[in-house]
Amino acid sequence: MAEKILPPEELGRVDYSPPKKSWMDPKVEFRKGTFNYGAVPSSTSYLDLPFSRKWQPTDDDWQLPDNWKEIILNGLKDRLKKYRSLKVFMDICVRCGACADKCHFYIGSGDPKNMPVLRAELLRSVYRNDFTTAGKLLGKLAGGRKLTKEIIKEWFYYFYQCTECRRCSVFCPYGIDTAEITMMGRELLNLLGLDIDWITTPAANCFRTGNHLGIQPHGFKDSVEFAVDDLEEITGIRVEAPINKKGAEVLFIVPSADYFGDPHYFGFLGYLALLHEIGLDYTFSTFASEGGNFGLFHSAEMMKRLNAKMYMEAKRLGVKWILGGECGHMWRVIHQYMDTVNGPADFLEVPVSPITGTRFEHAASTKMIHIAEFTADLIKHGKLNLDKSRNDQWRVTFHDSCNPARAMGLLEEPRFILNSVCNHFYEMPENTIREQTFCCGSGAGLGTDENFEMRMRGGLPRANAVKYVQEQHDVNMLCCICAIDKATLPPLMDYWVPGIQVGALHELVGNALVMKGEKERVTDMRSNPLPGKEVTVDA
Amino acid sequence: MKLFISLLAVLVLIILPLILVANGGDSIRYLFGVIVPYVGIAVFLFGIIYRVLHWARSPVPFRIVTTCGQQRSLPWIKSSKLENPHTIWGVLGRMLLEVLCFRSLFRNTKVELHEGPKLAYGADKWLWAAGLAFHWSLLIIFLRHFKYFAEPVPYFVTVIQNLDGFFQVGLPILYITDIIVVVALTYIFLRRVFVPQVRYISLPADYFALFLLLGITISGIVVRYFFKTDIVGVKELGTGLLSFHPVVPASIGVSFFIHLFLVSCLLMYFPFSKLMHMGGVFLSPTRNLVNNSRAKRHINPWNYPVKVHTYEEYEDEFREVMRAAGLPLEKE
Ligand code: SF4
Ligand code: SF4
């Protein structure tokens, strides 16, 4: 924790009464703990982004280019032309407020500009002023605001206080998706060189080395070999984990945190065990060594630039189809954008599981399936020997990550797997799961130390639901299928609900999976003793 | 402040015909009875068409559905056909539920924060109920009005009217929808004024729309139940307008002109206001698309090539370390 933060009891006292001053007043205060640092020039220039410069949100002068106003208004005009969604969303909000208390940032901060409707109004007011007749004639009376530098600062503050989770869009009677408005807002800010470092630097790393963490090919190989060693220690089996192997049947792409972060890593061990056990002919790639895509949090263009590697590498290696690991925003990109921006993938085949023969028709065009879909199919066909009791140390609840839930509808697959690999699985309250799931509070590039207070605020609804099942069912494991979650839920739990571990779905699969020829397992994937296998030291 | 400006604006719209028609001659009556309504209808129709075409001119580059249920993936997992449609029929069902039943608003919850902190989410169906009651009543009232335009009165109009006046209270018979519409609008208005968050986000336009609609319904009720305007005369005006042979019978009173003028104003205001949500809901990409982006390629008409980092460039940079690590190379 980089910044000082109030104790939970105090942070949890949120005042929802709106302030005296009208929201039309754009003034914001960049308070420590509630915003993200500006991007370093080395990253922005590596990606050829405009107006690369040294800059911080706390600076008085943001060194905007002289024609900043023109850039923004033209940028907005351009996007209105390109996106029907934006145009419609700018026009039809009735300000009913149904979305207001659906946003975790509003619930956790009480700041009215974190109500999705007002977040959108920040942009909409400028739209009204410059793009509608009523706004041009009546100005403020018609809800218009003249674009000022203050407004740019306000946009920056609030468009980086939205995790693009789309919960608000579930409740809006017209399906207005504030996440899309945030995305447009961020794209506009990027035109002025107002990028944040936590998005731009990973994006630059990914562009160069193939993954957000900047791990070079030999480093990737080391990580995988390290995992193979660890897995051998746990299971007694030395698995093969091919890298850059031409002619493999399947290319397996996982988020980089899976092989470099904790607790992601235990899920990575689970993947390795599973794919070995079923004998899948697959390969990793050092070039496409990132499933995630921080470009999505920057702009549609950056998303496309980073995503291009997946198909390029699948083609180069000559695989038949692609398997994707546990990650949230990665799957948003794969499911909703990849084929459109970088397809058609006509050099690949419709994914077929060589073990069960299942043809994954729902991915007939994109040719990429989610590992939860793949594993659920294996279990359903009885291809895995599972010993649930090897997860008896865990009382599990499941966090639906925003993107798989609201941008795909991947809800039952992980639940089916969980019910097959562990004995104690408990759902959180229904308003906090599935399509109504609450964000971890740190998605969309906001998971930084400097933004810690805002993250804890935004994560309050999620944490509170976990607390409920902790109290009711003694839950001690929060399982999820998202790399950002796995990185940001542990500090969130420590802050609001101590005593909860965060784990990957495939960590639990790895624990339960009885492998042919394995030694008697005494530890789980975390190398902690299994229940009943604790070593007792004789006195 | 915002509230009063809007109230004032609507009051002006009421006083205008009141003074002018009461003191003016036939030409003024013709202006308010024929010209203004025609202009209203024309602006309404062309305005809506313009707006919808204006929206439709922008493409839908990505298939960004908001999925509210299980996807269609494996055959043995039951997918949610309406909340996460994978066929056009599913979308149709989803849209019907949205438009006819306000499905999404039905989900509405209210969050409560207790000491601890402890969050609780209660169902909050009032907005949904009021919204639904208001919109449906308005539709029925709108259809009922056909009796003033068509001779013979279409059968369905008679049926609706009979149902609406089912309780046979009062004379002229009291319509249930008249009451519902006023009650629902009043609720929506009070909610806007008294819920602090909703008041905070409200713009003058939000109040204006409510006052205008309230003005219309109340003036309609006044015309019908209190001033008992000459129905025959109104019908003569209505059928005349529809057949493009308009006449303004002398028997029509000022109160009716107020009602008619407010309706005309609404028609003119409609296409340029948030009331266009009526058209927009059909065009909202998060609701009207099939969630099949992995099964079928969605085409973005403005998809353009971008600068990417190729494998060759990558290998050129890392060849030495790759070789040392024993990783296969394209170029030795
Ligand atoms: S729910 Fe939709 S229409 Fe209502 S205020 Fe929010 S964005 Fe606007
Ligand atoms: S997308 Fe999520 S974070 Fe953004 S406004 Fe909506 S609910 Fe809030």
Sorted by where each begins, the domain ranges of chain B are 2-305
Among the residue ranges A297-306, B47-56, B225-234, the one predicted with the least confidence is: B225-234
B315, pLDDT greater than 70: yes
Q: Look at A1 and B64; give whichever has higher pLDDT.
A: B64
What average pLDDT does the segment A226-254 reach? 97
| Interface residue B155 vs chain A (CB under 8 A) | no
| Interface residue A356 vs chain B (CB under 8 A) | no
What average pLDDT does the segment B95-109 reach? 96
Residue-wise pLDDT for A136-158, tens only, equals: 999 999 999 999 999 999 999 99
Please give the pLDDT value at position B227. 82
CB A192 within 8 A of CB A65: yes
CB A46 within 8 A of CB A202: no
Largest CA distance in chain B: 100
Q: Which of residues 455-494 of A touch B (CB under 8 A)?
A: 460-461, 464-465
Is A251 near ligand 2, meaning CB less than 6 Å away?
no
Q: Tokens in use for A231?
A: 């897995």
Pairwise CB contact (< 8 Å): A409 & B67: yes
Residue-wise pLDDT for A167-180, tens only, equals: 999 999 999 999 99
Residue in A98, A142, A336 closest to B105 by CB: A98
b/e code A446-471 from CB counts within 10 Å (16+ = b): bbbebbbbbbbbbbbbbbbbbbbbbe
Q: Tell me the pLDDT band of A537, cut-offs 50, 70 and 90.
A: low
> What is the distance in A from the centroid of ligand 2 to the CA of A441?
10
Q: Tell me the pLDDT band of A26, cut-offs 50, 70 and 90.
A: very high
Cα of first residue to Cα of last residue in chain A, in angstroms, is 41
Is A179 near ligand 2, meaning CB less than 6 Å away?
yes
The rounded percent of chain B whose pLDDT value lies above 90 is 83
d(CA A350, CA A369): 10
Cis preceding-peptide flag for B117 (omega within 30 of 0): yes
Using the atom order of ligand 2, give the atom closest to the CA of residue A161: 3
Q: How many CB atoms lie within 10 A of CB A349?
A: 14
Residue having the nearest C-alpha atom to atom 2 of ligand 1? A172
Pairwise CB contact (< 8 Å): B58 & A208: no
**ipTM given for this complex:** 0.94
- State how far the alpha carbon of A354 is from the alpha carbons of A282, A325, A361, A370, A413, in Å: 11, 18, 14, 15, 19
Burial of B117 per CB tally in 10 Å (0-12, 13-18, 19+): buried
| Interface residue B300 vs chain A (CB under 8 A) | yes
d(CA B52, CA A475): 51
What average pLDDT does the segment A395-422 reach? 97
Using the atom order of ligand 2, give the atom closest to the CA of residue A169: 6
CA distance A528 to chain B (A): 32
Burial of B53 per CB tally in 10 Å (0-12, 13-18, 19+): exposed
Residue having the nearest C-alpha atom to atom 2 of ligand 2? A165
Nearest CA in chain B to A368: B294
Using the atom order of ligand 1, give the atom closest to the CA of residue A95: 5
What average pLDDT does the segment B302-309 reach? 97
Ligand nearest to the CA of A436: 2
Q: Tell me the pLDDT band of B97, cut-offs 50, 70 and 90.
A: very high
* Domains in chain A: ranges and CATH: 23-195 (1.10.1060), 202-533 (no CATH)
CB A493 within 8 A of CB A424: no
What average pLDDT does the segment A25-33 reach? 95
Which of A133, A329, A362 is best to mutate for the B interface (most B CBs within 10 A)?
A362
* DSSP assignment string, A128-164: HHHH-HHHHHHGGGGT-----HHHHHHHHHHHTS---
CB B6 within 8 A of CB B189: no
Residue A474 — left, alpha, or beta (φ > 0 → left; ψ -120 to 50 → alpha)? left
Pairwise CB contact (< 8 Å): B79 & A409: yes
Pairwise CB contact (< 8 Å): B287 & A174: yes
Please give the pLDDT value at position B251. 86
Q: Tokens in use for B67?
A: 């999925």
Please give the pLDDT value at position A1. 45
Pairing of strands B109-114, B118-123: antiparallel
d(CA B125, CA A50): 48
What average pLDDT does the segment A284-311 reach? 97
Pairwise CB contact (< 8 Å): B195 & A97: yes
Using the atom order of ligand 2, give the atom closest to the CA of residue A166: 1
Residues of B in contact with A311 (CB under 8 A): none
d(CA A144, CA A130): 8
Burial of A486 per CB tally in 10 Å (0-12, 13-18, 19+): buried
Average pLDDT score, chain A: 96
| Interface residue B107 vs chain A (CB under 8 A) | yes
d(CA B171, CA A66): 71
Which SS3 state, helix, strand or coil, does residue A535 take?
coil
Residue-wise pLDDT for A158-212, tens only, equals: 999 999 999 999 999 999 999 999 999 999 999 999 999 999 999 999 999 999 9
Which SS3 state, helix, strand or coil, does residue B109 take?
strand
> What is the distance in A from the centroid of ligand 1 to the CA of B112?
20
- Report the candidate in A288, A290, A161, A315 with the shortest Cα–Cα distance to residue A213: A290
d(CA A464, CA B105): 24
| Interface residue A366 vs chain B (CB under 8 A) | yes
* DSSP assignment string, A34-95: SS-PBPPHHHHHHTT-TT-----TT-S-----TTHHHHHHHHHHHHHHH-HHHHHHHHH---
State pTM to two decimals: 0.95
Pairwise CB contact (< 8 Å): B104 & A84: no
**CATH of the domain spanning B2-305:** 1.20.950.20
Number of H helices, E strands in chain A: 24, 7
d(CA A148, CA A126): 10
What average pLDDT does the segment A295-304 reach? 97
Is A165 near ligand 2, meaning CB less than 6 Å away?
yes
Where are the alpha helices (H) located in B102-230, listed in sequence order? 103-106, 126-144, 155-164, 176-194, 196-201, 204-221
